[in-house]
Structure 1
């Protein structure tokens, strides 16, 4: 059908086509279909564009545009309605979840996570009132990354949180730092800035008309929170307040029940503890009366309290295991500091002491048996440690008496061994010694050490070797049934020094074939130890045979280094300042029998170099340095220098 065209008063061509009405009707029906299918806005616009492209009449196009506008409003209304339905459903789910929670921390965490989810915010957090401090503090967060922000506290009336807590009404800001509707503080602004927050919505948590905290939703960009979102967070806050109050009441009830249960359990445990303590007391008393030893008490400890028990003796007892057993190390330090038992992990350490006398520690490893008897077990361990200390004290007193008798015997042997050899032999036999065997005489000196501890260490070494020991002239003398004086001296210096924690110097001589030879060997051993100290070799052990004539020569000499420097000083100084080897050349020359050829070979230098060095030595020491008297003095000084510590 032909289309008639007319021109209106504005010069616009208006087409009247029979299909215009059908096109417009189809367009409206299409908009309704898109509305039903929840299509995106672009598809609505495409329908209108197709109608315009069809060239329908302006009047019908106006109707289509009106239908498009109405459809878009209906679309927004439906979307808002569905959003509200989703929010209400989520809110109902949240209410159900909160009602199922019983732990306060779990309730608070669920609240902030649901708030963040419902509002789609970057962060959500909850602050609570601190009635003691008179302010509010951030208790739990979701989405926050700044530790500084999570530790914020707000005074009542300060910033948004303080204002909401004071007024009990919601507060909304699209831009925190630009908003002047509340009182800013530098500390809170810095914390908010550290987290990067901009838009904030805060609603009060109210219980019985009292604000107990504030629930927040915040974004890191400007955002205008809609009234519906404010209402949603307010509704969540109302339910959250009830959940928090219920959780608090439940926690208080549980705490009260737990306190009653603890009191009842404590009474039963106390009664059981008294019974266990009485049993332990009876057991330890019976052991002491029966003449039991430390090992018997330790076994009883294991039977009474379970675990593995042991006693470590000495001032540094157990220090060697500190690096491999940190629990023991920590318990040991605590016990030493307090003087009481200490438990770290599964290790108990209790000091073993009598008054100010420290013997060591009692150690128990393992769980208490039963598990809730830790306190009573510690009292049992402390009682056992006291019993062990008394036994050790008694044993030490007996040992000291035996040591005194042994010391008297040693002094008698050194004074007049042949006066009554049979009686001396019988006395020695009572200490397990056989004077018919050859004996090495060892003299040990430990300057500054406690004499009783030195004597005890020496007696222990002698007793374990089948010998005897005694205090003589400020030192200790050991008579050991051995044949190698050098080995005996080194062992005595090492073991006694280790026991005392300081250097012990030991000189030995022998072996003495019979008691009559012991006094002479004692004199040699004394000169040997004096020579060692004169040489600056304190803390070492040597025999008279090792030192030879030096032991005799140096027994009463103190300044060996001074003697060496007085003789060889010019050579030593020349070598030190010029990096020469004149001292070594002189020693090689004498040791080679004054042979230039052999000296050259020893030093690995040309023979002319040897000649030049000998001339330099003569210019420093004098032309008579090779004369017999000077040679002996120089050679002795060279020998002494070689024996001094490097």
Structure 2
């Protein structure tokens, strides 16, 4: 049984703990968390109680920070879903491009966002639209392939970020580009590719006028937006070409009408799946809805090949070569009568979806299937964000228990919210492997902790799992 935590303090500590819990429930500002300690101090609480209250305040602030990070991530993912719906509703290319850079500015909170498109004929990339820019020269700059940060992104199809562009020697600096960046006053720049299949059509940027480093989360967020943006740009361009064809080729009107209907059906299906996820639907719900829409069997696997959901088909492992081919091409690929599409967040492979029973898939349904992979990617990112937050909270509680810090009542309440009964007898396991890396051991321990109502985390650089032993502890 877990032991070593101190007994609850007298009335001052109890009142302070209630106050801290109330502040957490209210979502109060960080400075408000000093009030319970100040009140206890004014009431003449002894030093031991004040120390206990200070420890509880530290734990409460840590919980507040974790919850705040989770809320920010959840808000970002919700904004991505909103962006998908907004872009799907736009038909004009200029409106789509303006909406993309404006939403990128809102999502990342940077000073400037902008988008460049590749000019295949000229062999360079040019500034197409900006948000927050004040320098005319910057708004008209063109970058050769491989020049500057944006030219390197366009050439290599990989995201690049710099905390201080002017001082970063990784990039091929030119007088024209450096002068434009200097006129705009930009220092920190992040650029991600706009990808259509294996073709790069441009670059989406976020930049600040002060030096700073972009986090991996910000890179993934802008990459996810770029995936939506590329689809929207392609759709808007396709619609413009369709309108031009209607003027020049009246004989093609029926073909265009059929194609537009297919696009509408794909957009409606995309909106339906997005709305399903926004209302809290999981992988099983997405698989069932997509199976109905495409009239086939659906399997969803994670990046390790584990099945997450299945509808209207028998279990089968993901075809690894087809997933790799889809990832490389950026589109769905057929394999022995089954269509497979990699689920990506930028360059990161999150998993795959497979469609069975539809060997002869029309282009419209293939597009719909590929759009479903984007919704699935957002769902997986949300699931991962929630899981990471829960694992972090479990790990922090485990650390407090093993370090014998914190108030027992607070620790018990925290454990209860995670479904952990500290009144039961528990076993403590320390995991070590000469073969598997530590992060894989930690991930396996976290999964075991969730399924067994236990706790897992790192303690003094060791992977530790605490799980119920099967018999209740003494009262």
TM-score with structure 2 length normalisation? 0.49
TM-score with structure 1 length normalisation? 0.37
Name the structure with the higher helix share: 1
Tell which structure's C-alpha radius of gyration is larger: 1
Name the structure with the higher strand share: 2
Structure ranking higher on relative contact order (CA contacts 8 Å, 6+ apart): 2
